[in-house]
Amino acid sequence: MNYDDIVEMYQSGKLAMYFGSSAAVKMFQDQGINTTFLPFFQENGEKWLMTTPYFQVALNRDLTQDETRRKKAVKVLSTMLSEDAQNRVISDGQDLLSYSQDVDFKLTEYLKDVKSVIEENHMYIRIASNDFFSVSKDVVSKMISGEYDAEQAYQSFNTQLLEEKSTSENIVLDSKKTYSNRFHTSGGNEAYSVMANTLRGIYGTDVLIATGNSFTGNVLKAGYTEKMARDMIMPNSLSAYSSKMSGVELKETVKNFVEGYEGGFTPFNRGSLPVVSGISVEVKETDDGYILSKVTKDGKKVQDEDTFTVTCLAISKHMEAYPADENIVFDGEDTTVKDTWTGYISDGDAILAEPEDYMTLR
């Protein structure tokens, strides 16, 4: 379940507790909900907090070759780690637990009940990495099913993290060109067009419409491992929905994706506009959002009586809120887009489609 669903369940009294922050305590108390912050309890009576590092840094190794640049980088880090800088990044109701001994912590009233835990330095640091996430999912699932007790889960977690990973992964996709994901008012997003055109071929549909949160980043000139290729699709359980439409229905569908609808994904800037394949669209930018002006196919206006097979890519929550129409019925695929994409590239002979100019923004 996503974060918003959990918060809603807590607000409605369906949950007694959930994993959150002191800022959430403030939010609920402001809503009149009696809420307090609790630590994790251990069987021996000890209490612990789990903290999330928000200040994460990567430095270029080349800095070691240039002492002047290295000193400048260290100066930036020193400034960011100072008490003044750390206090500037805190929002109202938030608490900052600094790992720097030069910074005094100042707790809000929303974290006062666990002050003794902090003073004892009983704080876990949450380490965010794909390895941690995948291993956690594995061992916790087995605890829930009764296959592991806590000690067995811990041992399995430790063993899996220490396993040496193979350094030689097979290349499943060989991209011969680099395509930028920068949006252009005349043409659209080149990298996203590559993905949309390729997926249109995979789904075998006349038209493909993808929400702006479907794809990730640039398409690189590189050999992609399966993991790298999977990451070209957003990790948001993107799903595919297909339908046979008339021209007038297609234009209405594109309009909903461009202009947004209640409960759906509403574009909030140019980069979040939908990506289309098999058609081209003209969009007008206004102070209030975006308006669809024209839909063409092969340089000609789409006629009302034309017929098309259409596949829409969106997350289920947004498609479930799609405006009901007795004439347009979407059939949802059982397999997520990410899994369909993985199946396509897994044999190693996948070919990326060329990008097209699919949008003109005026």
Alpha helix ranges (H) inside 95-189: 115-119, 130-144, 150-162
pLDDT of 240: 94
Assess whether 178 and 209 both reside in one domain.
yes
pLDDT of 19: 86
Assess whether 47 and 160 both reside in one domain.
no
pLDDT of 89: 75
Residue 43 included in any domain: yes
The DSSP string of 118-138 is HHTT-EEE----HHHHHHHHH
Residue 59 included in any domain: no
What phi and psi, each to the nearest 5 degrees, are found at residue 346?
A: -65, -30
Host domain of residue 47 = 3-54+89-128
Q: pLDDT under 50 in the chain at which residues?
A: none
Question: Hey, what long-range contacts does 183-188 have (CB within 8 A, 24 or more apart)?
Answer: 183/270, 183/271, 183/273, 185/270, 185/360, 185/361, 185/362, 186/357, 186/360, 186/361, 187/357, 187/358, 187/359, 187/360, 188/273, 188/275, 188/357, 188/358, 188/359
pLDDT of 167: 54
Report yes or no: 300 and 217 within 8 Å, Cβ to Cβ.
Answer: no
Strand partners, 90: none
Reduced DSSP (H G I as helix, E B as strand, rest coil) percent helix, strand, coil of the chain, to 5: 35, 20, 45
Domain boundary (140, 165, 190) is at: 165
Position of tokens 């999912």?
A: 137
Assess whether 133 and 227 both reside in one domain.
no
276-301 exposure pattern, b = at least 16 Cβ within 10 A, e = fewer: bbbbbbebeeeeeebebeebebeeee
pLDDT of 180: 87
From residue 45, give the alpha-carbon distance in Å to each of 40, 41, 42, 51, 81: 10, 6, 5, 20, 34
pLDDT of 168: 57
Tokens coding 54: 């928000």
Residue 324 included in any domain: yes
Residue 24 included in any domain: yes
Assess whether 242 and 201 both reside in one domain.
yes
Assess whether 141 and 181 both reside in one domain.
no
Residue 67 included in any domain: no
Pairing of strands 275-277, 207-210: antiparallel
Residue 301 included in any domain: yes
Assess whether 289 and 276 both reside in one domain.
yes
Close Cβ partners of 211 (under 8 Å, ≥ 6 residues apart): 257, 265, 274, 313, 314, 315, 318
Tokens coding 320: 């479930």
Residue 228 maps to which CATH number? 3.90.780.10
Tell me the torsion sign for CA atoms 107, 109, 111, 117. positive
CA 158 from chain center: how many Å?
A: 27
337-345 vs 190-203: helix crossing angle, rounded to 10: 80
Position of tokens 């140019």?
A: 270
Assess whether 190 and 328 both reside in one domain.
yes
Question: For the chain, what is the domain count?
Answer: 3
List the 47-51 sheet strands across, edge first: 40-41, 47-51, 123-125
Q: How far apart are CA 104 and CA 56, in angstroms?
A: 20
